[in-house]
């Protein structure tokens, strides 16, 4: 399913199966998660420099070529598809900020396809025997949630603003770690609130509501800048608001008093391979179960529009 340009629907195209170059794996795609970033790409809020491009950066696939010893093993492909390896960020454990990074499904063809190529160095081994569609949402929704949670330090009471794919994974991890989760959703999204409570949240309610007790940290997953001052107001002194999306509408002006007392607002960008290794191990120990709605590959545009309209809870996954 090919992206041609902003404002144009994804288009099905029959291509010859690509051949792996040096260091690349050819994967037969088992499943590819649908991410809000894909909507931002579709809408031009995050730019695709050189379309046509195949979107999709939460790929679970089996190796069919490129690795003669281990054909048939299963790997996961995340958003971070390539880095230069020698800039000041790459050499200081911050490859997520590499200025020359290439991202899967933006700069490199991704997983909205039956086959995909990936640089072996950026793939993760997928050890579990869970179906591909269950694992795929861990590769961005889970991963970015995990990186955002790392920015929250030892926070015990964690607010999650926007209870979608990321939050439903992170809630399970938080609970397993003994943290308390407070889930904030759109006012009428009763289904997301119910899912949050089912997954162990101690409280769920509309984003404009104050939580029953002040939060040590809040992670904003929804791309809505008006949530940032709301989340700040919900924080205890010393608390942190982490903005976890790649794009957000403008943040409205707010009084200094809600930032005062060492509250912090920060963003989280991309991932490092270390984040991926840690999250996949943690998700396995915490026995995270993803709630997925699957779509056949050719309904990629439907999946994206359902995500935009909030028509499912949990995560959407394309299955070729």
Contact residues for Zn ion (CB under 5 A)?
35, 37, 83-84, 87, 90, 98, 140
- Expressed in angstroms, the distance from the first to the final Cα of the chain is 11
- Of 232 and 317, which has the nearer Cβ to Zn ion? 317
- Of 59 and 235, which has the nearer Cβ to Zn ion? 59
- Of 215 and 288, which has the nearer Cβ to Zn ion? 288
Residue 231 Cβ vs Zn ion, minimum distance, rounded to whole Å? 21
Residue 65 Cβ vs Zn ion, minimum distance, rounded to whole Å? 26
- Of 234 and 303, which has the nearer Cβ to Zn ion? 303
Contact of 249 with 223, CB cutoff 8 Å: yes
- Of 98 and 297, which has the nearer Cβ to Zn ion? 98
Contact of 102 with 119, CB cutoff 8 Å: no
- Of 98 and 218, which has the nearer Cβ to Zn ion? 98
Residue 170 Cβ vs Zn ion, minimum distance, rounded to whole Å? 14
What is the dihedral sign for C-alpha 103, 90, 97, 58?
Answer: positive
Residue 76 Cβ vs Zn ion, minimum distance, rounded to whole Å? 13
Give the side-chain half-sphere CA count within 13 A for 149.
28
Q: How far is CA 297 from the centre of its chain?
A: 19
Residue 247 Cβ vs Zn ion, minimum distance, rounded to whole Å? 11
Residue 149 Cβ vs Zn ion, minimum distance, rounded to whole Å? 16
């Amino acid at each position: 399913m090919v992206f041609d340009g902003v404002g144009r629907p994804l288009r099905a195209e029959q291509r010859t199966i690509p051949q792996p170059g040096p260091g690349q794996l050819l994967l037969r795609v088992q499943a590819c998660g649908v991410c809000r970033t894909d909507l931002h790409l579709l809408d031009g809020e995050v730019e695709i420099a050189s379309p046509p491009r195949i979107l999709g950066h939460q790929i679970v696939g089996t190796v069919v070529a490129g690795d003669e010893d281990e054909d048939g093993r299963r790997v996961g492909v995340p958003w971070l598809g390539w880095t230069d390896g020698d800039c000041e960020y790459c050499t200081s454990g911050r490859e997520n900020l590499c200025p020359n990074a290439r991202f899967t499904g933006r700069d490199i063809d991704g997983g909205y396809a039956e086959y995909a190529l990936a640089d072996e160095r950026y793939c993760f081994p997928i050890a579990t025997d869970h179906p591909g569609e269950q694992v795929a949402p861990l590769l961005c929704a889970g991963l970015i949630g995990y990186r955002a949670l790392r920015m929250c330090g030892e926070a015990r009471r964690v607010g999650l603003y926007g209870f979608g794919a990321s939050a439903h994974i992170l809630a399970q991890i938080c609970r397993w770690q003994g943290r308390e989760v407070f889930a904030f959703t759109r006012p009428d999204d009763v289904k997301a609130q119910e899912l949050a409570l089912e997954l162990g949240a101690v409280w769920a309610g509309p984003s404009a509501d104050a939580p029953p007790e002040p939060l040590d940290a809040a992670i904003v997953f929804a791309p809505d800048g008006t949530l940032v001052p709301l989340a700040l107001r919900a924080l205890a002194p010393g608390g942190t608001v982490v903005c976890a999306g790649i794009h957000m509408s403008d943040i409205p002006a707010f009084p200094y008093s809600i930032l005062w007392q060492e509250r912090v607002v920060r963003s989280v960008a991309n991932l490092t391979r270390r984040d991926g290794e840690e999250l996949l191990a943690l998700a396995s120990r915490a026995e995270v179960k993803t709630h997925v709605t699957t779509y056949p590959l050719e309904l990629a545009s439907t999946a994206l529009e359902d995500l935009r309209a909030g028509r499912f809870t949990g995560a959407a996954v394309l299955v070729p």
